[in-house]
Amino acid sequence: MSSKRANPYADYEFLRSATAQKEYTENEYDVVVRTAIALCRSPCVVVVRVEAWEACAEKAERMVAGYTCEWPNATTKGWTATLFQAYVKLDGLVEESRLEAEIALGGGRM
């Protein structure tokens, strides 16, 4: 084991960063991010589901992108880091979805 002490503020920093990432995604892509955290298949497994939905009232309610992950997983990090990573992955999926929609409408770059 390492003799180096863990950062006592690590969970706080990951939660702060997760909140900032969620707000960035909502503001940048005009979506509403919904988050569900549940116990599943085992009392020791946490499932995180994040989804981005259209925020515009004129458009029908439509999911733009979604991402699901579990903790613990193959990587050795805390659940707050997993939550932050889920928001980062969702941001990338929303960006990709927007680019695909732009290309489909003929406005994309080739």
Condensed to tens digits (0 to 9), the pLDDT of residues 64-100 reads: 999 999 998 888 688 999 999 999 999 999 999 999 9
Residue 61's pLDDT is: 81
Residue 65's pLDDT is: 97
Question: Is 108 part of a structural domain of the chain?
Answer: no
Question: Is 26 part of a structural domain of the chain?
Answer: yes
- In Å, how far from its chain's centre is CA 65? 10
CA–CA dist 22, 14 (Å, integer): 12
Number of domains in the chain: 1
Which range of residues forms the domain containing residue 46? Answer: 10-99
Residue 8's pLDDT is: 75
Pick the residue with more confidence: 30 or 60? 30
Condensed to tens digits (0 to 9), the pLDDT of residues 3-57 reads: 556 677 889 999 999 999 999 999 999 999 999 999 887 778 899 999 999 987 6
CA–CA dist 39, 80 (Å, integer): 15
Residue 3's pLDDT is: 53
Residue 1's pLDDT is: 44
Tell me how far CA of residue 43 lies from CA of 69, 70, 71, 77, in angstroms. 16, 12, 11, 18
CATH of the domain at 44: 3.30.160
